[in-house]
Structure 1
Amino acid sequence: MSLKPIILQQFCFVYKLIIQHDSISFLEENIGEFIRKKRSSQEELINLINEIAKEYINNNENNSFVELEKLKTVYHNLTCLENIENVKTVLIDNDLMIDDMDPNEFLRVVNAFDMPSWNYSNEKKGFIRKLDPLKKINPSKGCINIERFDLVYQRLKRWPGYLKQATGFNKIDNKLPTIKDLRGRTGQMFNIFGMLTLSKEGIYCIEDKDDILKLDLSECVFDGIHAEGNFVIVKGQYCNGQILKVINMENPPLECVDDTRREFGRIDFLGVPTSREDREDEMIKKCEATWKHLFFAIISDVWLDKPETLKNLRKMLRGYQRVKMFPFVFVFIGNFLSEPFLYSDECSMKYRAAFDKLGALIAEFPSIAKSSHFIFVPGNNDFNFNGILPQRQISDLYTARLKRKLPNAVFASNPCRIKYCSQELVVFREDIIHKFKRYSVEPSKLQNDQDCLEKKVIKNLLQQSHLNPLSSSLNSIAWDYDHTLRLYPVPDVLILADKYQNYSFDIPIASNFIEDSLNNNNNNDNNKCHCLNPSGFSSSGYKWMVYYPALKKSELCELPTRGL
């Protein structure tokens, strides 16, 4: 089988790339060797070439000329063909190999500042990778809202209820017109998508890429919770004076991970190598299900300057040691002091001493110190917080002694991501529910309606595909790191450490593909997000939560009143 015509067809005619003889020869030699060993079909061959071309475009978005060295880098990063394929085959064909696997190899902590930036391109109908923020010349503050708009809108356009439909005579019924499309159509009903903003006069408006429109919310029925800075869909009548009399406001529908992968493939949003084949996914999930004894202990607001906190931490560790059940991972979430960190010699000494005491305390239990992983996520009262998200990890200046005693300790950013087997866990320390209660379109209603408030807020975050989807006037986000707060694709677990009461529940996500719904695929673990809040350890009666990845369930723990 000659590969040159297929390579030229895909690179030149499908992806509009210019590829020369040396690059074609490289692909012919390497891909040819691969398909001979694997005995791949022509369809598998075309899929492989397509994936290489897509990855090249994503990594070299402004260059249509295929350079050999860059192509080699893309090829080897994408495939690692011979060795990886052999390992996959052995692992999947021989279940006994799972017993020899080490779960520690499947755990990764991803700091926010290490995550690659992927933005949706309307021109290429896919995601393209942005440059490293440090290499940029122009600031990107004005791009944040546009990038978030495109991210949510591309998801919304695929939802069946908002697709364009042909109405005959070559006319198209656009179910989501732009604000400019409303001109001259007074008295008609429309669905409009855009960002909810508040004018200087205190009037709510909806804003898209081209225009802004005032809203009359006097008769509006709110479906869910909404705040300034959210992207919403409003339905109403266009009236004189460029005002939309709204009868309904709702958030964009959610999209499950399976639908995202079906549309875009396996994009590495975290910067962590992931499986690119279904059979490797099966192997990882087998390992995940086999390790039922592994669990995460999640503890928030650990005030290390309080003797009572250290006393109860010792009780907790003693309890785990007594039953010989050691958490696979301890996730310690700030704040780590009962008072805000101040940049003074006295406070710095106090902060360093607090972590020294914690390291010495955990070292009293050698089995736990040696076998468990320890992840530390700062809070808004901790070192390195200047009011801007994401927040950098706590400096080695304060944690060096603890790290020497705990070799498996990792100090992460806020937010951070934990990749374990097939699951992505997002950890975020922010009092977000309090913000929504304060800045919601209907704050008075929220103050009186406490029933399932946390579910409404968490669902809003997932629908907005963002951890802090409020207006820039209400919170500060580093311009070039806004992508680190995104929730797209939807994570498997969202750990939102909040001062609010503890909770644990699943957010179900329906597939927008009819065949999936008919096959009841909504019971798939990919079609839900497990959400939890451990509340405060030091501030809420010394409680914490444990999460079981094999079961995708969590439970609340507290110290017994007697014993230990």
Structure 2
Amino acid sequence: MMNPDPVPSSSPAFGTPAYPIRPNKHTSIPTRTSILPILLPASTLRPVAFRTFTRKHNLTLSSSALQFLAAFVGKNCGSRWREEGLAERVLDEVAKSWRKAGGGVIVEEGKGASLKAILQTLEGNMSGGRIIDPKLALKEASAGGIPSLQPSTSSMTIADDQEPDGSDDTLVHPRHWVKVIEAFDTPRLTYNAEKKHFEVTKLKPSLFPHPSHKTSLFRDRYNIVHQRLLRNESFQVSLTSVGVPGLQRSSSSFAKSQCYRLTPVANLLGRSGTSHLLLGLLSISPTGELALTDLTGSIVLDFSHARLIPEDGAWLTPGMFVLVDGIYEEEENVRGSTLGGNTGIGGAIGGKFVGISICGPPCERRDTSLGMNLHENSQDISSSGGFGWVDFLGVGSERARGSRMRQIQMRCLREVHDGMELHRRLKIVVMGEVNLDNMKTLDALRKVFHTYNELALQDRPMVFVLIGNFVQKAMINGGGQGGSIEYKECFDMLALILSDFPTLLQRSTFIFVPGDNDPWSSAFSAGASSAIPRHTVPDLFTSRVKRAFATANSQLDRKQISEPPGEAVWTTNPSRISLFGPVHDIAILRDDISGRLRRSAVSVGHNDAEMEDGPSSTADLEEQTSALGQQEAGRSNLASPAMHSARKLVKTVLDQGTMSPFPQSLRPVLWDYSSSLQLYPLPTTFILADSEAAPFCTTYEGCHVMNPGKFIPEGDLSSMTWIEYDILKNRGRVKEDRF
């Protein structure tokens, strides 16, 4: 029996409908609460915004963004913004949307995302000062109901350490987080010396830039080295030396309670006979003399009585930034310059600087550069200082994503350990100078692939890195079309070998890094040093290898496994491998850098009688700052000459903070892409593929450096050498085998 009709009967007097509306038990009409907008000062909202954006999401609000948010909260939340916690929920959703849209650490309009667009979208899903979940509203609307106006629990209960989209839950295999970053895709960052932070270059890069960009290249290198040096404890002014006038430093002579002071080159004028500590670029002056140049000027150097610190511990070549401790001497006439005069701002000053000791700028550990304080037990990370908020690779900064990525790494490994793959090791196999035009190389590759193919699934490498030169001679240079055909046949033979190991192709990532003999740079350089960074091997030559991977992946049902398909990646030289975002940063460079260092090294003489007076400032500085690095590098066979050469090479490159510490005449660099060669902050791992140096694995200042050498060593055509790298332990091992 139907319930009594609450609506009166139809009557002209009351104007009631002839067919009254029957209530529906599935329909509930909510009462909409009106909001009275208020004018909310930005200063009043600042504590809540700081707690939500900075402490919870590691974001920084600009003043303009705070004003914009205060107006938005006052309009949509009204006077209940504080008592009912409406403002905190709204700001939390804005922060999550900003991170999801790819915004930077500083929340400001135009910094990677649009704050206005986020607030406009959010305003359309608000009612009564509360946020309606768009997905829930759409679901209920499609079901014929009216969406609830209460705040959605699904959008408000996301943990702080989770990504907003929740897509990370399905990516449980480590290879999902392997990303190859080409040199031309690396963020173009420059260091702003005035603001003391890194900025993204907004100018469009070009292969034919303005000549001023060449000057900017070396100026930016100087600014990075200079700020890194001033961050060193030896250059920090102590309170004791400031408070006691008698302990203040008057020269560059070292004292245990004092700090070092750098003297600009231009400030040497009128200070003849005094000792100073200089930082500058070693260069060859137009007169053919060795000179030191900084942002203020240049001075001729005299190294006849100098010594290198540590002795025979690093290379010294033009194009490097060095610390020189010595005495300035004025002369009556030095190459046309008058006494104490100069040729203008930035010009060469008169006289010469007699060096007593010289060393490279001290290296800085990665955790110091990023402001990280790691505790092994709790894995607590603090990024309050340093440059932890800078996204150096385009995969997220350490401050924004570091802790989250470490949790994902632990979850991926836990999934692996709890499953069938109980003892899985994350390994990378690195092979250098893989000459595919040598039949011995092809036989050796087959033996290596067969060895890893026979291992259990959990012990197989995750990534194979094959580094050129892929041909022994630059055939493209003089061979014309025939050279191109022969070069393609080399990769076709590689594809035939790879096809015999479909399980490796299905479950591994193969990365190919070209050398100077590979196209297209070899077409005009004939194998000589070409400009870096250089592009990948063209797709014209790699189609058969890609087809082998496609065929192997088609034979495996991906629905039954969570692992991504295998792939072949052709990347640039240099390039980067990112694993779990900023957690693992692996830099790769193919360059015979040791031979170039030997050919262009500067000889430094010394007078033993004069050096017996006492230690110099650079000597003590090097002894303090490099003790840890020498201790780490010295764990491997200190008596081996090959290991000594390896440590010498590693220290030279990492101290300079760049992959190419040479002048443009020795190793050309594309000016607008020079930031891709930057080694600051230090990567976790550096693969320095130098075919002229013996294979080695060593650690310096926390950075593990590996050189695979030649895959087929010279003089022994029946053996092969490669490196097996354990990612979690951050240690590599040189492996040898015969075929």
Q: Same fold (TM over 0.5)?
A: yes
Letter paired with 1:258: D
For residue 346 of structure 1, give the secondary structure of its aligned residue in structure 2: helix
More strand by share: 1
Cα distance in 2, alignment partners of residues 496 and 179 from structure 1: 34
Which residue of 1 is the match for residue 726 of structure 2? 548
How far is 1:210 from its partner?
A: 1.3
Which residue of 1 is the match for residue 319 of structure 2? 229
How far is 1:225 from its partner?
A: 2.4
How far is 1:322 from its partner?
A: 2.0
Cα distance in 1, alignment partners of residues 597 and 157 from structure 2: 48
How far is 1:454 from its partner?
A: 2.1
The alignment status of 1:192 with 2:353, answered yes or no, reads no
Cα distance in 2, alignment partners of residues 137 and 7 from structure 1: 46
Which residue of 1 is the match for residue 514 of structure 2? 378
Deviations 1:441-496 (Å, cap 9, x if unpaired)? 13999xxx866122122112111110011112211000101101010110010101
Deviations 1:200-252 (Å, cap 9, x if unpaired)? 33321110011101111111110232210101110011112321111110111
Which residue of 2 is the match for residue 331 of structure 1? 465
For residue 142 of structure 1, give the secondary structure of its aligned residue in structure 2: helix
Cα distance in 1, alignment partners of residues 173 and 159 from structure 2: 15
For residue 477 of structure 1, give the secondary structure of its aligned residue in structure 2: coil
Which residue of 1 is the match for residue 191 of structure 2? 120
For residue 133 of structure 1, give the secondary structure of its aligned residue in structure 2: coil
- Asked whether the 8 Å contact 1:294–1:328 carries over to 2, the reply is yes
For residue 141 of structure 1, give the secondary structure of its aligned residue in structure 2: helix
Which residue of 2 is the match for residue 202 of structure 1? 288
Which residue of 2 is the match for residue 293 of structure 1? 425
Structure 1 alignment gaps of length 5 or more: 41-50, 61-65, 76-81, 92-96, 510-527
How far is 1:317 from its partner?
A: 1.2
The alignment status of 1:273 with 2:396, answered yes or no, reads yes
For residue 475 of structure 1, give the secondary structure of its aligned residue in structure 2: coil
Q: Against the structure 1 CA distance between its residues 68 and 24, is the aligned structure 2 distance closer, same or farther, given a 3 Å change threshold?
A: farther
Cα distance in 2, alignment partners of residues 264 and 436 from structure 1: 31
The TM-score with structure 1 as length reference comes to 0.81
For residue 475 of structure 2, give the secondary structure of its aligned residue in structure 1: coil
How far is 1:288 from its partner?
A: 7.4
For residue 425 of structure 1, give the secondary structure of its aligned residue in structure 2: strand
The alignment status of 1:439 with 2:594, answered yes or no, reads no
Cα distance in 2, alignment partners of residues 265 and 128 from structure 1: 14
Letter paired with 2:510: F
Which residue of 2 is the match for residue 419 of structure 1? 578
Please say which structure displays the higher CA radius of gyration.
2
- Asked whether the 8 Å contact 2:513–2:572 carries over to 1, the reply is yes
Q: Against the structure 1 CA distance between its residues 319 and 53, is the aligned structure 2 distance closer, same or farther, given a 3 Å change threshold?
A: closer
For residue 698 of structure 2, give the secondary structure of its aligned residue in structure 1: strand
Letter paired with 2:722: W
The alignment status of 1:311 with 2:480, answered yes or no, reads no
For residue 489 of structure 2, give the secondary structure of its aligned residue in structure 1: helix
How far is 1:114 from its partner?
A: 0.4
Alignment counterpart, residue 216 of structure 2, candidates 143, 148, 155: 143
Q: Against the structure 1 CA distance between its residues 336 and 192, is the aligned structure 2 distance closer, same or farther, given a 3 Å change threshold?
A: same
Which residue of 1 is the match for residue 306 of structure 2? 220
Q: Against the structure 1 CA distance between its residues 132 and 331, is the aligned structure 2 distance closer, same or farther, given a 3 Å change threshold?
A: farther
How far is 1:189 from its partner?
A: 1.0
Deviations 1:348-371 (Å, cap 9, x if unpaired)? 111111112112211111111111
How far is 1:539 from its partner?
A: 4.0
Which residue of 2 is the match for residue 108 of structure 1? 179
Which residue of 1 is the match for residue 736 of structure 2? 558
- Asked whether the 8 Å contact 2:708–2:723 carries over to 1, the reply is yes
Q: Against the structure 1 CA distance between its residues 15 and 315, is the aligned structure 2 distance closer, same or farther, given a 3 Å change threshold?
A: closer
How far is 1:323 from its partner?
A: 2.6
Letter paired with 2:174: P
- Asked whether the 8 Å contact 1:288–1:549 carries over to 2, the reply is no
Deviations 1:299-356 (Å, cap 9, x if unpaired)? 1111112222111211111111223342210101001112113151111111111112
Alignment counterpart, residue 367 of structure 1, candidates 493, 496, 503: 503
How far is 1:53 from its partner?
A: 7.2
Which residue of 1 is the match for residue 549 of structure 2? 406
How far is 1:536 from its partner?
A: 0.9
Q: Against the structure 1 CA distance between its residues 452 and 105, is the aligned structure 2 distance closer, same or farther, given a 3 Å change threshold?
A: same
How far is 1:400 from its partner?
A: 1.6
The TM-score with structure 2 as length reference comes to 0.62
How far is 1:294 from its partner?
A: 2.1
How far is 1:146 from its partner?
A: 0.5
Letter paired with 1:187: G
The alignment status of 1:469 with 2:661, answered yes or no, reads yes
What is the percent sequence identity of the aligned residues? 27
Greater CA drift, 410-419 or 317-326: 317-326
Cα distance in 2, alignment partners of residues 356 and 72 from structure 1: 54
Letter paired with 1:266: W
- Asked whether the 8 Å contact 1:59–1:129 carries over to 2, the reply is no
How far is 1:22 from its partner?
A: 4.4
- Asked whether the 8 Å contact 2:361–2:656 carries over to 1, the reply is yes
Which residue of 2 is the match for residue 523 of structure 1? none
- Asked whether the 8 Å contact 1:498–1:535 carries over to 2, the reply is yes
Cα distance in 1, alignment partners of residues 696 and 290 from structure 2: 32
Q: Against the structure 1 CA distance between its residues 359 and 147, is the aligned structure 2 distance closer, same or farther, given a 3 Å change threshold?
A: same
Q: Against the structure 1 CA distance between its residues 249 and 130, is the aligned structure 2 distance closer, same or farther, given a 3 Å change threshold?
A: same
The alignment status of 1:158 with 2:231, answered yes or no, reads yes
1:532-543 matches, within 5 Å, as 532-540=706-714, 541-543=719-721
Structure 2 alignment gaps of length 5 or more: 1-39, 51-59, 94-102, 123-153, 251-259, 332-350, 372-385, 417-423, 551-566, 607-640
How far is 1:4 from its partner?
A: 2.1
Cα distance in 1, alignment partners of residues 388 and 45 from structure 2: 20
Letter paired with 1:456: K
Greater CA drift, 221-230 or 16-25: 16-25
